[in-house]
Structure 1
Amino acid sequence: MKNLWLEFKGFALGGNMFDLALGFIIGTAFAALVESLAGNVLMQLVAAIFGQPDFGGFVFTVNNAEIRYGSFLTELLNFLLLGLVLFGLVKLMKMAKLGNFRAQGSRECPHCKEFIAVDADKCKWCTADVHPAVVDDEEGASPAR
């Protein structure tokens, strides 16, 4: 029983599980922040422009069935504003050099058939020049070919 407890403790407090838990907690807090910015700031700007914070009152009736297209428009606008906020935050973080925004994944070298990073411009195995599949736009490189 003691060995099982020690094994569980090593698993639960090990690097991967602890990193995952911290990432989940920070991700939840970040999602609340972004949602608050989109809902409490940007949607209020929409309310200032259109006179109301949502379009839930926009409906039309077909054969005694209410079609609430205003609610759909509100959710669509929320989605677009949330995406805009996320895009802006990621761009700001990239400009401030915060976080790891390197391309993830691997691909096959066309020469030696070994796996290399998707943003590699030289194969680490055969040292052949390869075109990166993903190019970081901040390096001023031309788009991927």
Structure 2
Amino acid sequence: MKGLWKEFKAFAMGGNMMDLALGFIIGAAFAALVESLAGNILMQLVAAIFGKPDFSNLSFSVNGAELKYGAFLTELLNFLLLGLVLFALVKAMKKLGLGNFRAQGSRECPFCKEFVPVDALKCKFCTADIDPEQVEDEDEHIVVSRTKHADG
């Protein structure tokens, strides 16, 4: 039992678990901040334009059932504004060189069928030039020069 407790303590206090916990806490705080920006500033701009901070009261009845499409529109608008804010923040942080925003995931090389990152320009197995599924800003000139050579 003592060995099991020691192993659990090593797991719980290990780097990966602490990193995960810190990431979760910071992520929750960041989500609250972005949600506040979307709800308290951007939705208030919508209220200034349309005269209402939300559309929750909009509804209609069908066979006695009330369809509250206004609540759905409000949530949809909140989601779109939140996504827009997050997209803008990530683009700004990427431009400033903050954080690690490399593409995640892998795909199959069309030549050797080995798995390579989605933003790979060259297969690390067969060394063939491949078109990336996601082009990073710093790699865009390589893809453009390839298409110029292929066309000309």
Would the TM-score normalized by the shorter structure come out above 0.5?
yes
Counterpart-to-counterpart distance in 2, 1:53 and 1:110? 51
SS at match of 2:123: coil
Q: CA deviation at 1:111?
A: 4.0
Residue of structure 1 in register with 2:122 after alignment: 122
Q: Structure 1, unaligned stretches of length 5 or more?
A: none
Q: 1:73 to 1:118 in 2, by over 3 A?
A: closer
- The TM-score, its normalising length taken from structure 1, stands at 0.85
Residue of structure 1 in register with 2:54 after alignment: 54
Counterpart-to-counterpart distance in 2, 1:31 and 1:127? 41
Residue of structure 2 in register with 1:8 after alignment: 8
Identity across matched positions, percent = 74
SS at match of 2:107: strand
Deviations 1:13-67 (A, max 9, x none): 1121111111111111111111110001101111111222111222223333322
Deviations 1:85-118 (A, max 9, x none): 1111111111111111111223333444443322
SS at match of 1:140: helix
Matched, 1:139 2:150: no
List structure 1 runs of 4+ shifted beyond 6 angstroms.
none
Residue of structure 1 in register with 2:88 after alignment: 88
Q: 1:2 to 1:70 in 2, by over 3 A?
A: same
Which segment is superposed worse, 65-74 or 84-93?
A: 65-74
Q: How many residues align?
A: 144
Structure number with higher helix proportion: 2
